[in-house]
Amino acid sequence: MKTFKVLGGGCRNCEVTAKIIAQAAAEAGVDIQLEKITDMAEILGHGVMSTPAVVIDDTVVHSGGVPSSDAVRAWVKDADQ
């Protein structure tokens, strides 16, 4: 099971990002672990300077805005393999 982390201060874009990921995983029937990280030290520890950001298994795959639905579906599909 892949771990998806949404990094950010809890803003609207961070919430939307988490919902898009959860919805894509549900639609694909893929079990993921989804965490919302708001601790600034942990966010900076990933080298992220712009949020929201998405981390999959400790690899930053996106930062600086809400990711596209197509990108999220691709991440979830890769998580199923």
For the annotated catalytic residues, the residue numbers are: 11, 14
Cα–Cα distance, 7 to 42 (Å, whole number): 9
Question: Strands 32-37 and 2-7, how do they pair?
Answer: parallel
- Give the 3-state secondary structure percentages of the chain, helix then strand then coil, rounded to 5: 40, 25, 30
